[in-house]
Structure 1
Amino acid sequence: MGTGKLVVAFAAPIVRDGTVKGVVSGDVAMDSVVANVKSIQPTPSSFGMLLDRSGNIVAAADAKLTLKPLTDLSNELTTSAISAASQE
């Protein structure tokens, strides 16, 4: 029975001897994901965000940022800058 809520699906293949034998998957309600992201506060003056591959904000403490590009916070926050920082 559907709840009508937006969900995020996670899936992973089960591979044996080089052949896909099945898939394990599960759904997580998006409101639960957003609540978890909002609770992330590494320091008193910081906050967590969830981004998609294109650099758009999927979830943040400030709901007005949802689906906005990360560069709306700062022109320096590009996907390439974040990728480079994660490699350091």
Structure 2
Amino acid sequence: MRFLLAILLKKISAPERLQELGFDKKLIDDVLVKSIKNSGREPCTNSELTVGERLRKNVAILLEWTVPKSYMEKFKHERRSTEELLEELTS
């Protein structure tokens, strides 16, 4: 999931924005959290969840505001996973 997230961020973000977020210098999880915060949204930081669960929730937050609503509704209706959506968006 982290690899696909990195590909997606490179596709949807300007190089200057990625540099500002610390892309290629910080863990992708940290880049994702900073990106969510910079968008005015609240990232998942619940320490009771596993690192993987927090990552999934934060990827979902990212996708909710970056993927067109009609596409997300179709995707949810098909009950596809976040990983499947990332694969589709990065292919």
**TM-score range, shorter-chain basis?**
under 0.3
Q: TM-score, normalized by length of structure 1?
A: 0.23
Larger strand share, 1 or 2: 1
Higher relative contact order (CA 8 A, sep 6+): 2
Q: TM-score, normalized by length of structure 2?
A: 0.23
Structure with higher Rg: it is: 1
Larger helix share, 1 or 2: 2
